[in-house]
Amino acid sequence: MPIDKMIEKAYDLLRKRRVEYIGEGTYNVVGEHGTYTVIRRIDGAVNCNCPGFIRRGRCSHSLAVIMLNQPSLLKSIQKEIEKASSRR
């Protein structure tokens, strides 16, 4: 999946409130193909248990958690996506 598609997907997960903090750095993310667990360490590194992350080390679920913890990043992504969708 290209990175911009992944960002769009991650943003969509947040927008639809499919990312839920369940405590101790752990998030439940309801993805298209199942519910996954994303762990965010104190140093900001994230880990997801979905097949995509295990294979490639990145996925929309873990990205959504990163965005959730970086409001300025989330805002700039939001702006980009709104710009892109208004061009369509």
Contacts of 8 (CB under 8 A, 6+ apart): 81
Binding mask 46-75 for Zn ion (x = CB under 5 A): --x-x--x-----x-x--------------
Edge-to-edge order in the sheet of strand 35-40: 19-23, 26-30, 35-40, 46-48
The answer to whether the beta carbons of residues 40 and 64 sit under 8 Å apart is no
Nearer to Zn ion, 55 or 88 (CB): 55
Smallest gap from residue 34 Cβ to Zn ion (A): 10
CB of 58 to Zn ion, least distance (A): 8
Site string for Zn ion, 29-48 (x = CB under 5 A): -------x-----------x
The least distance separating Zn ion from the CB of residue 75, rounded to whole angstroms, comes to: 23
Using an 8 Å Cβ cutoff, are 78 and 11 in contact? Answer: yes
Q: C-alpha angle 63/45/81, rounded to 5°?
A: 20
Q: Which residues are near Zn ion by CB under 5 A?
A: 36, 48, 50, 53, 59, 61
